[in-house]
Amino acid sequence: MADLPELYRDLHRHPELSLQEFRTASVLAEAVRELGFEVTTGVGGTGVVGVLRNGDGPVVLLRADIDALPVEEATGLPYASTARATDAGGDQVPVAHACGHDMHATCLVGAAERLARTRDEWSGTVLLVFQPAEELGLGARNMVEDGLFDRFGTPDVVLAQHVGPLPAGMIAHGSGPVLAASDSVHVTLFGRGGHGSAPENTVDPVLMAAHVVVRLQGIVAREIAPSERAVVTVGRVQAGTKDNIIPETAELGINIRSFDDHVRTTLRDAVERIVRAEAQASGAPREPELTWSDGMPVLVSDPDATARTVAAFTEHFGAHNLIPGAVVNASEDVGHFGAVAGAPTVFWFLGGIDFGTREPGRPVAMNHSPEFAPDIEPTLTTGVDALVVAARAWLRLT
């Protein structure tokens, strides 16, 4: 499709937060509907499903996530986002596609066009899933609970990709566990507020929070074996309204990543122990509150299904364009589709940086950075090709 780059730029200019992807869903639904797919919107909230039935054969699910992040874009691109939105907490926040979901969605539209145009070459069913709320770990679950498979068919394989700061034109793949389990906890620490000039009359929750943040850093260093992969991150600290007022409370947002159930339990238990112990050590007037949100499990790229798909990639792209053994501490909820369907999931990484055109010495921005945005080409062409090649590896070719 000649207008794919413009579709990408449009989605990039108009990002929407998780569970608010109404415009994005409408644009994608219309694009796919024009290709001859049966399109249903509002699946699992703001999800879009496109179905192309083309005779007997396997059902192949191709998935792209569509939500953006509360990040203020700093790429300087002419199509950079200036969007703002109200988040779930009622706060006004900047919004940007700092994780590349706009590229994922555009690639899936391009793959849909290619598969629709070449339907005389294959038989089976292509099931397009434009999934919301990946950043919350809710989208896949919401769509399944809304009857995704009962309404549109159970897939024989689930295929998905994610763009990242790898050389554009390259594909990185792993077999077995490739992305970590993720758990998040919202912590409220309770103190006793007062005047900043008389801290002796207060219990300072800011100091309490600072001790918690520092102490948490010892979990991975001293409680997890060096042979294991684990991460503990404090991504949010909020307290107070004025510099000379000691507040009543402080809030922390803590995230943990792991690949092993025992490590996952150890991390959760350690976080709770440290938070409660530091509150007690500070003389907090009441116990802290910890609210764990639904986590994401380890994403497993099925070894046999991955081998079959990678063989097709090798034939199409050449072995020199493949990077084996990719394992990342980030997390994804796409595996929920395959787990519920009883189908293998295949997941790979798509290079998004054209190093040949970059200024020498310029740092490479990672996903979730305000400066992250993939180069449109050759990323877009490679992403479309990868989805089509992967789908054809599973569809019945005629």
Write out the binding residues for Mn(2+). 99, 101, 135, 162, 368
CA dist 12 and 352 (Å) reads: 15
DSSP code at position 355: G
CA distances from 243 to 70, 188, 212, 248, 318 (A): 26, 20, 21, 13, 60
Which residues are known binding-site members?
99, 101, 135, 162, 368
Residue 223 CB partners (closer than 8 Å, separation 6+):
266, 270
CA distances from 323 to 173, 315, 318, 341, 369 (A): 6, 14, 11, 29, 23
Residue spans of alpha helices (H) in the chain: 4-13, 22-33, 101-117, 139-145, 148-152, 205-216, 218-223, 261-281, 303-317, 335-341, 376-392
Longest dimension (CA), the chain: 81
CB 179 within 8 A of CB 332: yes
Q: What are the DSSP calls for 260-329, one per residue?
A: SHHHHHHHHHHHHHHHHHHHHHTT-SS--EEEEEEEEPPEEE-HHHHHHHHHHHHHHH-GGGEEE---BS
